Amino acid sequence: MAITAAQVKDLRERTGAGMMECKKALVETDGDIDLAIENMRKSGAAKADKKAGRIAAEGLLRVQTSDDGKKAAIVEVNSETDFVTKGDDFQNFVAAVAKVALDKQTADIDTLLNAAMDDGVSVGESCKNLIAKIGENMNVRRVQLVENSDGIVANYLHGSRIGVVVSLNGGDEALARDVAMHIAATNPQSISADDIDPVLIEKEKEIFTAQAKESGKPDEIIEKMITGRIAKFLKEVTLLGQPFVKDPDQTVEKLLKASNATVVSFTRFEVGEGIEKKQENFADEVMGQIKG
């Protein structure tokens, strides 16, 4: 059976695959578009599995907020290159994943991957289909759900690579957003010193002690030096102790107290943090493809 250009065009529009791949699929199915799509999805899944081992350290963040502003879900979806993140397919997928996370009220990645999207296909399967279509490994990496029925849930996105969701009691939307923006800029490890892991404090104390002893000062002076350095360290890594980015003359703690507000929790995601990126020479990569 002769395959027409109109059939190839129709299949391309429905799958997003290349022209030659579409023509080949239609030839194999004697022009049956639905069967061609089914076969392409099956082979696409196999292609997706082959790509699963490749490092995906780029990507996008997305925050989805409930209509009443009391709940928000933040998700990170990774890709191999920044180029892919600029495409509508990837951006729409990330937005849809965030919507599912909020609708299903889940902060569990496995539950999210198994949850159905609007078209009835699971998030995990939709991701595989997108991998097959675009040709890059992708990964729905993490999700967090924030809820505060009695307070404020606000978010701040710095571009699409750093995202923060803050839960605040007291204050107003403007204050909550300012705090979220501050967290995006400074990346505090916790809200207050009480939340810092004692093991981390002890480790810092050991480092400061070793440094102080090299000064040759008396033990009582060394003890005061260590105490001062630990206090400075805690101010630097805790949200309440940090100088507010918009007004460094006051700490975030003072800013909040002025509005009788408290931070209940915060979540900060940065695209690719913690992922070991593969270092490649782009020129060598291009030459390799040309030779191949």
Q: 210-227 pLDDT, tens per residue?
A: 877 777 778 788 788 888
List the chain domain ranges.
Answer: 5-51, 54-147, 150-188+252-274, 193-251
pTM of the model: 0.74
β-strand partners of 146: 72
CATH tag for 54-147 (out of 3.40.50.1820, 3.30.70.1150, 3.30.420.40, 3.30.479.20): 3.30.479.20
Q: In 3-state terms, what secondary structure has residue 267?
A: strand
pLDDT at 31 over 50: yes
β-strand partners of 157: 163
pLDDT at 229 over 70: yes
Which top CATH class is 150-188+252-274?
alpha beta
Give the separation between CA 192 and CA 235, rounded to whole angstroms: 9
Q: Per residue in 82-121, pLDDT tens?
A: 898 999 999 999 999 999 999 999 999 999 999 999 999 9
Q: In 3-state terms, what secondary structure has residue 78?
A: strand
Give the separation between CA 222 and CA 194, rounded to whole angstroms: 24
pLDDT at 201 over 60: yes
pLDDT band at 277 (very low <50, low <70, confident <90, very high): low
Residue 113: DSSP 8-state: H
pLDDT at 27 over 70: yes
Give the separation between CA 60 and CA 83, rounded to whole angstroms: 11
Tell whether domain 5-51 is in CATH 3.70.10.10: no
Do the domains 150-188+252-274 and 54-147 match in fold?
A: yes
What is the pLDDT at residue 215?
Answer: 75
